[in-house]
């Protein structure tokens, strides 16, 4: 028997039974390995129905057994267990069975294969492992490290970057830019046959582990299939040549209070494909972050790059469940318990949100509880199955979160100990941010109606605890002589005469951490900060809208135009520049001195706009289409721009954002993607100046009061 | 998001719009003062919420009273300072 060591690249079902593993070995080989792997799902419910299900399944080449398994909420249940040695057949088998017997409860039927694999072998994706081999057959596999390792040996990936010379939606590309290690060149797309032969040769020569593209999901890979047929050059971008590209169609869905559009996807086998323009969170934490999420969640890199962190946290809970012998329900069955009206009013709150004291304040410290909600879940053992029981064992959710929370805290501590110029800082920060997102969404998934392991009461228990802790922190601060200027869910803004440096606030922070048991961190001391009032009534304060400058000159702002994605780049740039001017002031009183500079700067900017000196890219307004075009009674500017696109045969789905310029006359807008050059004299400069004035008023108003 | 019970902010908005015929009948300068009452209540949304009352408007009125008392206290202090200065 042979032995091989390396990194686990990919796991998926083999269509002829068992599974395929891809191993990147220590001697830089890429091995396609096969392994026997059975998967089981369960059905529970009425006995006579189970009996019929048994009869239905008898000749389906599966192993049937009666056993008892644990449901998280109901405890032990008698189940019919259905095992197949061909995991690729499971989805169809389950679909047929559940269509025949819709009233049975099903468990473990839709667990992604990679999760089953890591739960069973204790390995992890991108992790190091050792395999014992008989030719291509894996006889045994064991992990050589853990996903919780802080500094894992980096996986030596070969990355190939492919990008067209233009956005295919706007202009037909003519060349494909190809980048690999230090080499880079452009390949003309025509003639198709030559292009296909060259690209095929490149793929073969470079043999990349990761193909990083721009518009690969929506343009390149679908197009390759077409060109393959046209040119007769069979180009299969998979490393596993027995598989075809797995495509998923585009869709629009509703989540986090907004309509979201997700483009079509092209997944590969044996290597990964990530499309930078279709990767939900890549901008937030980059490839390093996506790989970190794949490591800890067990969902593949291609999945994690395109999905929300919610999918990741669900995956982690599934793995915890499998490892603890708990079945994963296919549909969520937990309904909300009955409550009286007063109980409902009592329970149905979010986090504590104070109205800030409007105006400018000097020497204000912002202190934040670190990962407050997950920390509460872990410390107080809040989990859907423990919420109404006392002295329960550690629940599924805290068990899943604990290592995640610890790892993130350790990464953050390492980063703060390193020199900011250290080359490791960026990578560690990206990984900590990726973990943070998993932690952030975990709370929402406690109460989300489609979550596997959610129960609204556990969600409420977390917010109730957070409000209690915030009040404790407030009381402590006031006992120590501080004024509370603002509190927002997990952060406090405090001030006291004579307290100016970060160290002055340490005794307060120690006291809070001591009392609440949740770690608390100093965000910074503002030399001045302005809390804003409502645009409607200057006497009404608005939570979480502020801007200020820390003592080191860094600017922080929330809720103002700069933070809004629908603000044009031009306005954002100027608002930021204005804040930078104001940040020179060391006290609230000094700010008045800088107002003339600001006004002059803004006048200059307006002059540049009118003179046509501003690149039109900076004037693009970006708005999301919230419904189908037929749904508008009086079309918004975004809808009018979308109508222009429709007129030239381009469809815009709800949730997709439309980019346009404000113009004089006509419909008042011009869709950016029309690609037509616009004479700068046709720009609606008045409208842009109004937008700018509004943003400038936001930052100047507090200075003058 | 995902709440069953309407938030205190929403409830206050609703009460305010329910009272709009009342407000409309007031003189313009009284309307400004009236709006000030709701502005005062809105400074204490968090506290009204924590009161967990079936009738949050009661707590809202307490918040209005509280702001008023605060203002009186401030004025009183200013007055005393002035009187002391003027002997």
Closest partner residue to B1 (CB to CB) among A257, A537, A540 is: A257
Strands A19-25 vs A2-13: parallel, antiparallel or unpaired: antiparallel
Cβ separation of A354 and B52 shorter than 8 Å? no
Q: Are A520 and A358 in contact (CB under 8 A)?
A: no
Among the residue ranges A276-280, A365-369, A506-510, A641-645, the one predicted with the least confidence is A276-280
- Mark A138-158 as b/e (b = at least 16 C-beta within 10 Å): beebebeeebeeeebeebebb
Cβ separation of B35 and A537 shorter than 8 Å? yes
- So what's the pLDDT on residue A251? 72
- Nearest-5° angle of CA A309, CA A311, CA A317? 105
- So what's the pLDDT on residue A255? 59
Interval A571-604: pLDDT, tens:
999 999 999 999 999 999 999 999 999 999 999 9
Distance of alpha carbon A29 from alpha carbon A4, whole angstroms: 10
CA distance B87 to chain A (A): 31
**Chain centre to alpha carbon of residue B87:** 36
Distance of alpha carbon A293 from alpha carbon A305, whole angstroms: 9
CA distance A53 to chain B (A): 38
- So what's the pLDDT on residue B1? 46
Cβ separation of B46 and A354 shorter than 8 Å? yes
Distance of alpha carbon A596 from alpha carbon A704, whole angstroms: 12
- Maximum average pLDDT range among A434-443, B5-14, B35-44: B35-44
Nearest to A151 by CA among A437, A427, A433: A427
Among the residue ranges A178-187, A314-323, A622-631, the one predicted with the least confidence is A622-631
What percentage of chain A has pLDDT greater than the value 70?
A: 96
**SS percent in chain B: helix, strand, coil, step 5:** 80, 0, 20
* Residues of chain B positioned with their CB less than 8 A from the CB of A341: 54
Distance of alpha carbon A281 from alpha carbon A303, whole angstroms: 11
What is the average per-residue pLDDT within B26-52?
A: 90
Cβ separation of A345 and B42 shorter than 8 Å? no
Burial of A609: CB neighbours in 10 Å, binned 0-12, 13-18, 19+: buried
Within 10 Å of residue A336's Cβ, how many Cβ atoms?
14
What is the average per-residue pLDDT within A348-357?
A: 84
CA distance A681 to chain B (A): 43
For chain B, say whether A350 makes contact (Cβ under 8 Å): yes
Q: Are A299 and A267 in contact (CB under 8 A)?
A: no
Closest partner residue to A352 (CB to CB) among B5, B38, B46 is: B46
Q: What is the rounded end-to-end Cα distance, in angstroms, of chain A?
A: 81
For chain B, say whether A345 makes contact (Cβ under 8 Å): yes
A-B contacts at Cβ under 8 angstroms: 46
For chain B, say whether A341 makes contact (Cβ under 8 Å): yes
Domain A335-387+455-559 has CATH 3.40.50.300: no
All structural domains of chain B with their residue ranges: 8-85
* Helix (H) or strand (E) run with residue A662 in it: strand A657-662
Mutate to test the interface with B, among A539, A542, A544 (most CBs of B within 10 A): A539
Q: Are A274 and A305 in contact (CB under 8 A)?
A: yes
Nearest to A545 by CA among A536, A556, A555, A532: A532
Closest partner residue to B49 (CB to CB) among A349, A448, A537 is: A349
CA distance B40 to chain A (A): 8
- So what's the pLDDT on residue A670? 92
CA distance A488 to chain B (A): 10
Cβ separation of B1 and A256 shorter than 8 Å? yes
**Chain centre to alpha carbon of residue A118:** 22
Distance of alpha carbon A506 from alpha carbon A487, whole angstroms: 18
Nearest to A370 by CA among A491, A463, A545: A491
Mutate to test the interface with A, among B46, B55, B63, B66 (most CBs of A within 10 A): B46
**DSSP SS3 for A369:** strand
Closest-approach residue (CA) in chain B for A540: B39
What is the average per-residue pLDDT within A210-234?
A: 91
Q: What phi, psi does A99 have (nearest 5°)? A: -70, -40
For chain B, say whether A448 makes contact (Cβ under 8 Å): yes
pTM, to two decimals? 0.82
**DSSP SS3 for B60:** helix
Nearest to A546 by CA among A559, A563, A527, A561: A559
Cβ separation of B54 and A539 shorter than 8 Å? no
For chain B, say whether A467 makes contact (Cβ under 8 Å): yes
- Maximum average pLDDT range among A164-178, A526-540, A602-616: A602-616
Residue A253's pLDDT band, with cuts at 50, 70 and 90, is: low
Q: Are A367 and A492 in contact (CB under 8 A)?
A: yes
3-state secondary structure A509-563: HHHHHHHHCCCEEEEEEEEEEEEEECCCCCCCEEEEEEEEEECCCCEEEECCHHH
For chain B, say whether A342 makes contact (Cβ under 8 Å): yes
Q: Which two tokens stand for residue A595?
A: 């107002």
Domain A613-682 has CATH 3.40.1820.20: yes
Closest partner residue to B43 (CB to CB) among A344, A350, A541 is: A541
Mutate to test the interface with A, among B6, B7, B42 (most CBs of A within 10 A): B42
- So what's the pLDDT on residue A332? 61
- So what's the pLDDT on residue A179? 93
Q: At what angle do helices A192-206 and A221-231 cross, to 10 degrees?
A: 120
All structural domains of chain A with their residue ranges: 2-143, 335-387+455-559, 613-682
Q: What phi, psi does A27 have (nearest 5°)? A: -95, 30
Nearest to A203 by CA among A234, A172, A246: A234
**Chain centre to alpha carbon of residue A359:** 34
Widest CA span in chain B: 61
**DSSP SS3 for B56:** helix
Distance of alpha carbon A651 from alpha carbon A630, whole angstroms: 12
For chain A, say whether B43 makes contact (Cβ under 8 Å): yes
Cβ separation of B1 and A341 shorter than 8 Å? no
Cβ separation of A348 and B39 shorter than 8 Å? no
Cβ separation of B44 and A355 shorter than 8 Å? yes
Interval A297-306: pLDDT, tens:
999 999 999 8
- So what's the pLDDT on residue A39? 96
For chain B, say whether A447 makes contact (Cβ under 8 Å): yes
Strands A669-671 vs A657-662: parallel, antiparallel or unpaired: antiparallel
**Mean pLDDT, rounded, of chain A:** 90
Closest partner residue to B42 (CB to CB) among A344, A487, A540 is: A540
CA distance A540 to chain B (A): 5
Q: Is the pLDDT of residue A632 over 90?
A: no
Distance of alpha carbon A57 from alpha carbon A106, whole angstroms: 15
Interval A4-14: pLDDT, tens:
999 999 999 99
Distance of alpha carbon B9 from alpha carbon B25, whole angstroms: 24
Domain A2-143 has CATH 3.30.342: yes
Taking each continuous run of H as one helix and of E as one strand, the counts in chain B are 5, 0
Distance of alpha carbon A625 from alpha carbon A192, whole angstroms: 36
- Mark A454-485 as b/e (b = at least 16 C-beta within 10 Å): bbbbbbbbbbbbbbebbeebbebbeeeebebb
Interval A38-86: pLDDT, tens:
999 999 999 999 999 999 999 989 999 999 999 988 899 999 999 999 9
CA distance A342 to chain B (A): 7
Q: Is the pLDDT of residue B51 over 90?
A: no
């Amino acid at each position: 028997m042979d032995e091989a060591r390396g990194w686990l690249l990919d796991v998926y079902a083999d269509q002829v039974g068992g599974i395929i593993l891809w191993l990147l070995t220590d001697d830089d080989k890429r091995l396609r390995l096969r392994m026997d792997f059975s998967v089981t799902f369960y059905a529970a419910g009425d006995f006579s129905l189970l009996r019929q299900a048994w009869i239905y399944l008898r000749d389906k080449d599966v192993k049937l057994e009666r056993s008892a398994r644990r449901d998280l909420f109901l405890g032990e249940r008698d189940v019919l267990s259905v095992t197949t040695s061909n995991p690729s057949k499971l989805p169809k088998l389950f679909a047929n069975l559940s269509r025949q017997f819709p009233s049975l409860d099903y468990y473990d039927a839709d667990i992604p294969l990679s999760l089953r694999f890591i739960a069973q072998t204790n390995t992890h994706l991108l992790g190091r492992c050792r395999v014992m081999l008989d030719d291509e057959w894996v006889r045994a596999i064991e992990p050589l490290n853990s996903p919780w390792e802080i500094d894992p040996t980096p996986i030596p990936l070969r990355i190939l970057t492919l990008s067209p010379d233009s956005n295919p939606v706007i202009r037909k590309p003519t060349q494909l830019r190809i980048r690999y290690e230090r080499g880079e060149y452009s390949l003309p797309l025509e003639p198709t046959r030559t292009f296909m032969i060259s690209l095929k040769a490149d793929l073969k020569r470079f043999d990349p582990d990761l193909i990083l593209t721009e518009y690969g999901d929506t343009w390149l890979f679908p197009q390759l299939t077409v060109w393959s047929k046209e040119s007769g050059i069979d180009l299969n971008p998979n490393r596993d040549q027995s598989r075809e590209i797995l495509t998923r169609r585009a869709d629009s869905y509703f989540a986090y209070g907004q309509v979201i559009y997700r483009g079509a996807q092209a997944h590969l086998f044996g290597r990964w494909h990530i499309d930078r323009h279709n990767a939900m969170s890549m901008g937030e934490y980059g490839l390093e972050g996506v790989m970190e999420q794949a490591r800890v969640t067990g969902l593949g890199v291609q999945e994690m790059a395109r999905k929300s962190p919610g999918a990741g946290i669900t995956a982690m809970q599934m793995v915890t469940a499998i490892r603890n012998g708990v079945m994963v329900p296919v549909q969520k069955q937990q309904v909300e318990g009955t409550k009286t009206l007063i109980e409902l009013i009592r329970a149905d709150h979010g986090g504590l949100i104070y109205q800030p004291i409007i105006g400018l304040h000097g020497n204000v410290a912002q202190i934040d509880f670190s990962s407050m909600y997950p920390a509460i879940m872990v410390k107080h053992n809040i989990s859907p199955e423990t919420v109404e029981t006392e002295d329960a064992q550690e629940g599924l959710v805290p068990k899943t979160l604990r290592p995640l929370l610890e790892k993130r805290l350790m990464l953050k501590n390492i980063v703060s100990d390193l020199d900011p110029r250290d080359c490791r800082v960026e990578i560690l920060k990206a990984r900590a941010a990726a973990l943070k997102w998993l932690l952030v969404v975990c709370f929402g998934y406690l109460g989300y109606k489609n979550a596997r392991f959610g129960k609204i009461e556990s969600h409420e228990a977390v917010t109730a605890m957070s409000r209690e802790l915030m009040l404790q922190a407030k009381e402590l601060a006031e006992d120590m002589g501080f004024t509370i200027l603002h509190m927002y869910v997990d952060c406090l803004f405090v001030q006291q005469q004579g307290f100016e440096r970060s160290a002055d606030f340490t005794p307060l922070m120690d006291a809070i951490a001591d009392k609440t048991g949740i770690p608390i961190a100093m965000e910074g001391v503002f030399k001045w900060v302005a809390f804003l009032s409502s645009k409607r009534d200057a006497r009404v304060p608005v939570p979480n809208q502020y801007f200020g400058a820390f003592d080191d000159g860094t600017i922080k702002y929330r809720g103002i135009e700069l933070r809004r994605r629908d603000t044009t780049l031009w306005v954002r740039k100027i608002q930021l520049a204005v804040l930078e001017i104001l940040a020179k002031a060391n006290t609230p009183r000094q700010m008045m001195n800088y107002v003339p500079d600001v006004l002059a700067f803004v006048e200059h900017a307006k002059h540049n706009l009118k003179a046509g000196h501003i690149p039109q890219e900076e004037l693009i307004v970006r708005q999301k289409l919230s419904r189908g075009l037929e749904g508008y009674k009086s079309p918004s500017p975004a809808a009018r721009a979308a109508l222009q696109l429709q007129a030239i045969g381009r469809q815009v789905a709800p949730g997709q954002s439309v980019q346009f310029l404000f113009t004089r006359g006509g419909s008042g807008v011009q869709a950016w993607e029309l690609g037509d050059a616009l004479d700068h004299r046709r720009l609606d400069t008045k409208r842009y100046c109004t937008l700018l004035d509004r943003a400038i008023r936001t930052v100047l108003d507090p200075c003058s009061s | 998001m995902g709440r069953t019970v309407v938030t205190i902010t929403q409830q206050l908005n609703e009460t305010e719009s329910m009272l709009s015929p009342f407000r409309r009948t007031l003189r313009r300068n009284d309307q400004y003062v009236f709006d000030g009452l709701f502005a005062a209540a809105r400074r204490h949304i968090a506290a009204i919420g924590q009161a967990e009352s079936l009738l949050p408007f009661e707590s809202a009125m307490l918040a209005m009273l509280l702001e008023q008392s605060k203002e009186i206290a401030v004025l009183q202090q200013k007055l005393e300072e002035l009187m002391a200065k003027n002997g």
